[in-house]
Amino acid sequence: MRYLPLTPDDRAEMLGVIGAATIDDLFRDVPEAARPADLFDLPLHAGELEVERELSALSAKNRAAGAGPFFLGAGAYKHHVPATVDHIIQRSEFLTSYTPYQPEIAQGTLQVLFEFQTQVAALTGLDVANASMYDGSTATAEAVMMAQRVTRREKAVLSGGLHPHYASTTQTIAHAEGMEIVRLPAAVDAEAAVIEAIDAETACVVVQTPNVFGVVTDVSKIAEAAHAAGALLIVVTTEAVSYGLMKSPGAMGADIAVAEGQSIGNALNFGGPYVGLFACREKLVRQMPGRLCGETVDAEGRRGYVLTLSTREQHIRREKATSNICTNSGLCALAFSIHLSLLGGAGLSQLARVNHSRARELRDALAGVAGVEVLTPRFFNELAIKTSVPAAQLADELAAEGILAGVPFSRLDPAGGMDDVLLVCATETNTSQDIAALAAALSRKLAR
């Protein structure tokens, strides 16, 4: 049966109350050119069987990540996710749960979020973490606005090694706050340029490690320069598995660490939903966006979990809120925590070492291909290579042969002037045969 909760009389009454003549009046702020004059050319209805066939045909046009050699990264990574993760998150108490407004009936959800926060704080080497953000890019933007509140300054310096999508997201969101965003030109190794750009007006410096080109950097010198100028250091990580091998952001002097947690427990999922990680030093906690779960005891001394800090506009007066985030990525955060719990500290470290080993094998194979120059001097599991033909053309040709060779940098930053740069990534899911197939295909294509 059709679900139409409002009758024509109901709609007329509602429009009368708000003083609108027609429903179209509600969209008067949308430019006329952006409003369709008629219905879209789509079927108005279809049976379940017909819809299933149509969607299956559309799905068949996609190439699954596991259908052949796969070397895509650039912020979304293909890792093995144990079947246990999917089994647990589909339990009804997790799959259908929402914001834990009533702690007395949401202890399981609150405990999971508390444990998630504990894991994120340990990984980032910082004092406190929140109960997740939407994804890594919006977490970066939130960190920049948090730095504005802490320092009362309006300028943010974005490293040339920051993922272009993260930089664009930050520019879009921070613009509404009146912030000045200084986005440095794309650079494989951007440390010196970042330090030079810091001045007395800088609220924060945003650096990524491993950066979008795969370069691993100890940002301790950048931290010293930022702190000497009274600015905060925000460290971004798009590949969470790297925490198992790299020095933590906190150990390098970060004041705020943000990351994309997709790599742990979450599949590629066509680009989402993902889960943003956010941690900071304890002295900054009251300016941290989102929500924070805490552990306490009830009147009888029994352990319990509550929302300790919720500075979102849903919980307090809008003008006092630090964020307008309407929810968190609770199910993805749960998947993250389950996978990380299964791995443990030793397992994460081992997984990270396998990733690095695969990337070293990939580097060695590609370095021997005529027409390829490896640009990344220090890496975790991702590399930037320079090719003798446009990278986008090369990637398309190899995709037609069943090899997803990597992400052309020009797709991330069309104006960056790096049309010959290809980002390639190897994880534990890549085999030696995959790497050999990529090297052979590149040799054949570049020998033309």
| Residue 187: CATH number of its domain | 3.40.640.10
Cis ω for the linkage preceding 100 (within 30 of 0): no
Q: Are residues 105 and 118 in the same domain?
A: yes
Element (DSSP H or E) covering residue 340 = helix 330-367
Phi/psi at 260 (5° precision): -95, 120
User: Would you say residue 326 has pLDDT above 70?
Assistant: no
Domain of 374? 65-81+344-447
Domain limit, last residue, from 319, 339, 359: 339
Name the H helices within 260-316: none
Domain limit, last residue, from 339, 372, 399: 339
Q: Are residues 231 and 370 in the same domain?
A: no
Q: Is 59 a domain residue? A: no
271 CB neighbour count, 10 Å cutoff: 10
Q: Is 35 helix (H, G, I), strand (E, B) or coil?
A: coil
Q: Are residues 249 and 329 in the same domain?
A: yes
Terminal alpha carbon distance of the chain: 61
Q: Is 40 a domain residue? A: no
Q: Is 281 a domain residue? A: yes
Q: Are residues 113 and 150 in the same domain?
A: yes
CATH number of residue 368's parent domain: 3.90.1150.10
- Confirm if 187 and 199 have CB atoms less than 8 A apart: no
Q: Are residues 110 and 237 in the same domain?
A: yes
Q: Are residues 130 and 257 in the same domain?
A: yes
Phi/psi at 148 (5° precision): -60, -45
Q: Are residues 74 and 113 in the same domain?
A: no
- Work out the average pLDDT over 394-407: 96
Q: Is 285 a domain residue? A: yes
Q: Is 49 a domain residue? A: no
At 33-71, the pLDDT tens digits run 888 888 888 877 888 999 999 999 999 988 889 899 999
The rounded percent of the chain whose pLDDT value lies above 90 is: 76
Prediction pTM value: 0.89
In terms of Cβ atoms closer than 10 Å to its own Cβ (0-12, 13-18, 19+), residue 419 is: middle
CA count, 13 A, side-chain hemisphere, 251: 10
Q: Are residues 330 and 372 in the same domain?
A: no
Give the pLDDT band of residue 1 (cuts 50, 70, 90): very low
Domain limit, last residue, from 289, 304, 339: 339
Q: Are residues 76 and 101 in the same domain?
A: no
Provide the pLDDT for residue 46: 85
Closest listed residue to residue 275, CA positions, set 261, 292, 290, 256: 261
At 224-248, the pLDDT tens digits run 999 999 999 999 999 999 999 999 9
- What's the structural domain count of the chain? 2
At 352-395, the pLDDT tens digits run 999 999 999 999 999 999 999 999 999 999 999 999 999 999 99
Q: Is 258 a domain residue? A: yes
Give the pLDDT band of residue 93 (cuts 50, 70, 90): confident
User: Would you say residue 342 has pLDDT above 90?
Assistant: yes
Residues 194-197: contacts with CB under 8 Å, at least 24 apart:
194/157, 194/159, 194/160, 194/222, 195/221, 195/222, 195/225, 197/157
Provide the pLDDT for residue 183: 97
Q: Is 157 helix (H, G, I), strand (E, B) or coil?
A: strand
The rounded percent of the chain whose pLDDT value lies above 70 is: 96
Q: Are residues 152 and 128 in the same domain?
A: yes
Q: Are residues 228 and 366 in the same domain?
A: no
Q: Is 207 a domain residue? A: yes
Q: Are residues 226 and 325 in the same domain?
A: yes
At 129-180, the pLDDT tens digits run 999 999 999 999 999 999 999 999 999 999 999 999 999 999 999 888 889 9
Q: Is 330 a domain residue? A: yes
